[in-house]
Structure 1
Amino acid sequence: MVNKAISLVGVPTDIGAGHRGASMGPEALRVANLAARLTRRGLDVVDRGNLQGPLNPWQPPVDGYRHLPEVVAWNQAVHEAIYAELGEGRLPIMLGGDHCLAIGSISAVARHCRDTGKTLRVLWLDAHADFNTAEATPSGNIHGMPVACLCGNGPQELISMGGQVPATSAPVFRQIGIRSVDEGEKRLVRESQVSIFDMRHIDEVGMKRTMEEALADIDENTHLHVSFDVDFLDPTIAPGVGTTVRGGPNYREAQLCMEMIADTGRVGSLDIVELNPAFDKKNQTARLAVDLVESLFGKSTLIR
């Protein structure tokens, strides 16, 4: 693994989501003992507490975006916090919050990669492609737009956050577990040429081959960012999300996915997003997320 110094950064907001409750995600992950479990793996874990930002006004969309000023404020806070942790040589784990926050975290990681001459690779573990725009979105919820924004397709305040437009480019992304793409979004995804390993692909070739393809050509100079949306997982094992989509990876597939990412030794930053305790059962989804994050940081059955 690249780094043994870990910083947890809580971002308690559901500002970009269509359901309330993702704001409670950071606390649920803490209750599930994320820090202690990673410390037990020999990592130096510091919990930086929670970032502050505007309350969710719960308003309808304006010009195709819901809560744009508030989304900008939260993402700016995320960007600065994550960029600072990377600058101190630490590995930041963003505890979300909804997935719009990846605009702040990934723009910060991209900026850090430009500073250090690293090559960025983003593994986007999600049921959704999150490539919507104001024109294509059925809801205006910005948690459906972060990848588009990071690739330069979105409102100026969000696409310019890292000081460069676009913050990243489509070839940086490998999207895994996708099984829900809005009609208008399908064309955008195809035109962008983002690499998508959807559930059909996983069904056809298996998780092992899928991950080999997604992790191909990673080298010593790669900064690997994992953006883990908990709705990546099948809702039978992870009910605690606002946007469940049937037919996701099962427990073993998810474990293999995380273990193969860990095997690269190149993980440099992580988002855990869209955990919604309001829909969970006895915090089981948070506990599962923590279990998988342990595997991402090298927990395995045997010493390999």
Structure 2
Amino acid sequence: MTTTSEQLVGAVLMIAPGATRQDTPDGGADLFWPQEGRRIALGRTSLHVLQQFAVPATASSVADRMERATPGSRDAVTKAVITLVEVGALCERDFLHRTTPSGRGAGLFGSPVVRIDDAMNGTDDFVVIGAPYDHGVTYRPGARFGPEALRRASTGVYQVEAGRRGMYDVETDTRLLAGVGIADVGDMAAVSGGLGEDLLRSLEEVVALTARSKKVPVVLGGDHSITLRVVDGLTRHHQRLGLLHFDAHHDYGEIRTGQPGQRVGIHHGNFLDWVVGNPAVECVAQFGIRQLTQSRPQESEKIQRWPGLTAVTADPADMIRRLPGDLVWHLTFDVDVLDPSVMPSTGTVLPGGYTYRQALAVIGSLCDALPVVGVDVVEYLPGDDEAPGVTTSALLARTLHRIAAASKRSL
């Protein structure tokens, strides 16, 4: 159906929610809806008209305003508005009340799946973002199915309740996540036929938006290369960041620098090269590394390492003292840090890893002492057995509880 100027009379229009924007050299912009995988390109004039609806307005009021500023522009403005409505860049203001949230089924721990705009403007503490991406693997694919599988398994561990009452934990005689809000914005989507760069760009944008909204992004991967874009997003808001890296593998060989368009050959086994090369990242603390390598990774004063089970046997207070006390931290958890007897559902298993209890003890100590502003869980390859997903979900629930509790203590 073709939109006409008569159909727009009296309609209050607004910029369609959920879009991320990337400016182009010609003065226009690309708009991408990460929850839908939809992209449109706008020229300079169309972008200028679109910006007039940052505050919802009628087409006639915008045309009048622009006619006063530039006599003779009314017809061009009206045509531009019609086109913007037809391509979905503008919508009626009551659109939000007539559509359902993006995403399939329930979110993590049964949380509501909401639009990105609603999550940013809401009062939830954590925002869950799915990143079903595994173009960065070097061996077994399948981590793209991790986010949805973790959402399904997670409700067997913890269930978000109305009123944020939390759930009773008999082990600690407390209510887990009491008073804590969790919202899920669903999965980032990629344009059909691409290699996922749109998804990664959207992931970075939504993580940055979440950080600016003073909420903690919780990213469900996906292979470990997504963490580079998560860090990119966080450091657009946090000028100084540390990384808590749980993994069986170094994921690092040498220091590299460069913006997303300049990076070549990124995969899940080398993404940390660019993280270490990011000047805003001042410390990378690695836990559980036990990979054999052909050569020793390049030394960096940024990197602290507790390989194998050394973090399990270390005094937590001594471990914390070795880390900078004036940074905020992102926690990235590769499920292969767990022993294969606990976590067979990953692409590159290695023996000698943590048990569930050991991982929880180390992570809990860190989250109690350090301000954690982001979390991601990566490299989970779901199979027929749901036990690994339940294990991962339980670790995540208790990690979020410790982060929220430490945050409230610091207020």
Contact 2:276 2:302 in 1 (8 A): no
Structure 1 match to 2:135:
15
Are 1:246 and 2:351 counterparts?
yes
Q: Match for 1:28 among 130, 149, 159?
A: 149
Q: Provide the C-alpha distance between the structure 1 equivalents of 2:248 and 2:133, rounded to a whole number of angstroms.
A: 20
Contact 2:220 2:376 in 1 (8 A): yes
Aligned-partner residue type, residue 9 of structure 1: I
Structure 2 match to 1:97:
222
Change beyond 3 A, Cα 1:168–1:277: same
Deviation at 1:255, TM superposition (A): 1.6
Aligned-partner residue type, residue 151 of structure 2: R
Are 1:110 and 2:254 counterparts?
no
Q: Provide the C-alpha distance between the structure 2 equivalents of 1:187 and 1:13, rounded to a whole number of angstroms.
A: 26
Structure 2 match to 1:274:
379
Are 1:229 and 2:334 counterparts?
yes
Structure 1 match to 2:291:
180
Taking structure 1 as the reference length, the TM-score comes to 0.74
Q: Provide the C-alpha distance between the structure 1 equivalents of 2:250 and 2:150, rounded to a whole number of angstroms.
A: 24
Structure 2: which 5+ residue stretches go unaligned? Answer: 1-122, 167-176, 257-264, 403-411
Change beyond 3 A, Cα 1:134–1:225: closer
Aligned-partner residue type, residue 11 of structure 1: A
Q: Provide the C-alpha distance between the structure 1 equivalents of 2:317 and 2:331, rounded to a whole number of angstroms.
A: 13
Change beyond 3 A, Cα 1:211–1:32: farther
Deviation at 1:134, TM superposition (A): 12
Contact 1:201 1:210 in 2 (8 A): no
Deviation at 1:287, TM superposition (A): 0.8
Change beyond 3 A, Cα 1:36–1:295: closer
Deviation at 1:27, TM superposition (A): 0.8
Aligned-partner residue type, residue 289 of structure 2: I
Q: Provide the C-alpha distance between the structure 2 equivalents of 1:265 and 1:187, rounded to a whole number of angstroms.
A: 27
Deviation at 1:261, TM superposition (A): 2.3
Q: Which has the higher contact order (CA 8 A, sep 6+)?
A: 1
1:71-130 superposed Cα distances (whole Å, 9 cap, x missing partner): 64433221111001111111100000000000100111122112xxxx422100000110
Change beyond 3 A, Cα 1:237–1:131: same
Moved more, 38-47 or 83-92: 38-47
Cα RMSD after superposing both structures: 2.9
User: Does the residue aligned with 1:199 lie in a helix, a strand or coil?
Assistant: coil
Contact 2:309 2:354 in 1 (8 A): no
Q: Describe how 1:91-240 pairs up with structure 2 within 5 A.
A: 91-114=216-239, 119-132=240-253, 142-152=267-277, 166=278, 168-169=280-281, 171-184=282-295, 186-188=296-298, 190=299, 194-199=303-308, 201-202=310-311, 206-209=312-315, 212-214=318-320, 216-217=322-323, 219=325, 221-240=326-345
Change beyond 3 A, Cα 1:56–1:218: farther
User: Does the residue aligned with 1:255 lie in a helix, a strand or coil?
Assistant: helix
Contact 1:129 1:181 in 2 (8 A): no
Contact 2:252 2:272 in 1 (8 A): yes
* Structure whose alpha-carbon radius of gyration is higher: 2
Q: Describe how 1:18-97 pairs up with structure 2 within 5 A.
A: 18-33=139-154, 36-37=158-159, 40=166, 41-42=177-178, 43-53=180-190, 70=195, 72-97=197-222
Change beyond 3 A, Cα 1:200–1:228: closer
1:157-179 superposed Cα distances (whole Å, 9 cap, x missing partner): xxxxxxxxx3544x410000000
Of Structure 1 and Structure 2, the greater helix share is in: 1
User: Does the residue aligned with 2:244 lie in a helix, a strand or coil?
Assistant: strand
Structure 2 match to 1:302:
none
User: Does the residue aligned with 2:200 lie in a helix, a strand or coil?
Assistant: helix
Contact 1:107 1:168 in 2 (8 A): no
Moved more, 242-251 or 27-36: 27-36
Q: Provide the C-alpha distance between the structure 2 equivalents of 1:243 and 1:55, rounded to a whole number of angstroms.
A: 28
Structure 1 match to 2:71:
none
Deviation at 1:56, TM superposition (A): 8.5
Q: Provide the C-alpha distance between the structure 2 equivalents of 1:6 and 1:276, rounded to a whole number of angstroms.
A: 24
Equivalences, count: 255
Q: Provide the C-alpha distance between the structure 1 equivalents of 2:245 and 2:355, rounded to a whole number of angstroms.
A: 17
Structure 1: which 5+ residue stretches go unaligned? Answer: 58-69, 153-165, 300-304
Q: Provide the C-alpha distance between the structure 2 equivalents of 1:235 and 1:287, rounded to a whole number of angstroms.
A: 15
Structure 2 match to 1:157:
none
Q: Provide the C-alpha distance between the structure 2 equivalents of 1:259 and 1:265, rounded to a whole number of angstroms.
A: 10
Q: Provide the C-alpha distance between the structure 1 equivalents of 2:365 and 2:124, rounded to a whole number of angstroms.
A: 18
1:137-161 superposed Cα distances (whole Å, 9 cap, x missing partner): xxx6700111102223xxxxxxxxx
Change beyond 3 A, Cα 1:146–1:276: same
Are 1:288 and 2:391 counterparts?
yes
Change beyond 3 A, Cα 1:112–1:151: same
